Amino acid sequence: MKVPLTVVFLGAPGAGKGTQARVLSGEYGIPHVSTGDILREAIKSKSPLGMEAKKKMDAGELVSDEIVCLIVEERLRRVDCSQGFILDGFPRTIAQAERLAEMLPRLLFPLPMVFHINVGEEELVKRLTGRRSCSVCRQIYNIYGQRPRIEDQCDVCGGKLELREDDKMEVIQERFTEYTNQTEPLIQYYRERGLLFEIDGSKDINSINQDILSVIKSSKVLSN
């Protein structure tokens, strides 16, 4: 039986986690699970969860571990994850990583390959302030590089492109602080467990994808 592929993308806001997760999801035919996207959908639908998450997200703070862990477990239980999944934006705290470590064997998934996408702060700010996301299908663009064919319109579905609420300069700084305090310790956490792979995120999107693919393919060879 094929072993499911379980991947975690770790990196600062704007590092390119969502971009790489989307590409890899298409290549392996496994779902891209973004806690940020799930929470933004909940906000759009004005559900109680969305209302609670909105205050935190608009301020650049993290949503509670309890809420996010419940969302992820519910998502990973769905049948489309049976061949694996790509986590983008989860885990983000040591407590979330501990919950994932407990959850995966219980749901019969292997431990994840964790890719830390590393990008300098100046480039991160440029990527975040230049990002535009499709309001319908969440495809990601950037005014400095990955421009849509028609201004403000998604190439994939024709949806309107928008600037995320938390991509405003004053919120970006708070997100960086949360990342340094709460998420960066996960790099050491996963390194100690032998699950971490460092990726140079300053390269272009395609080169980064190739670097990730070569790690996945070589680890598959080793495990066969």
Binders of ligand AP5 among residues 90 to 129 (CB under 6 A) are 90, 92, 96, 127
In the bound complex, which residue of the shown chain has the CB atom lying closest to ligand AP5?
36
Binders of ligand AP5 among residues 41 to 100 (CB under 6 A) are 56-57, 60-63, 68, 89-90, 92, 96
Torsion, Cα 150 119 22 73, to 10 degrees, reads -130
Give the Cα separation of 22 and 24 in Å (integer): 6
Residue 19 touches ligand AP5, criterion: CB under 6 A: yes
Q: Are 208 and 22 in contact (CB under 8 A)?
A: no
DSSP 147: -
Count of residues engaged in binding ligand AP5, rule: CB under 6 A = 35
Identify the H or E element spanning 23: helix 17-28
Residue 221 sits at the vertex; the CA angle it makes with 218 and 223, to the nearest 5 degrees, is 110
Query: Smaller CB distance to ligand AP5: residue 162 or 220?
Result: 162
- Is 126 an active-site residue? no
Give the Cα separation of 157 and 159 in Å (integer): 5
- Is 75 an active-site residue? no
What is the closest distance, in whole angstroms, from the C-beta atom of residue 21 to ligand AP5 in the complex? 7
Nearest to 163 by CA among 152, 177, 148, 155: 152
Catalytic residue among 126, 164, 168, 203: 164
Listed ranges 107-115, 141-149, 152-160, 209-217: which one lies at the site for ligand AP5 (CB under 6 A): 141-149
Give contact residues for ligand AP5 (rule: CB under 6 A): 11, 13-19, 35-36, 39, 56-57, 60-63, 68, 89-90, 92, 96, 127, 130-131, 140-142, 145-146, 166, 175, 204-205, 208
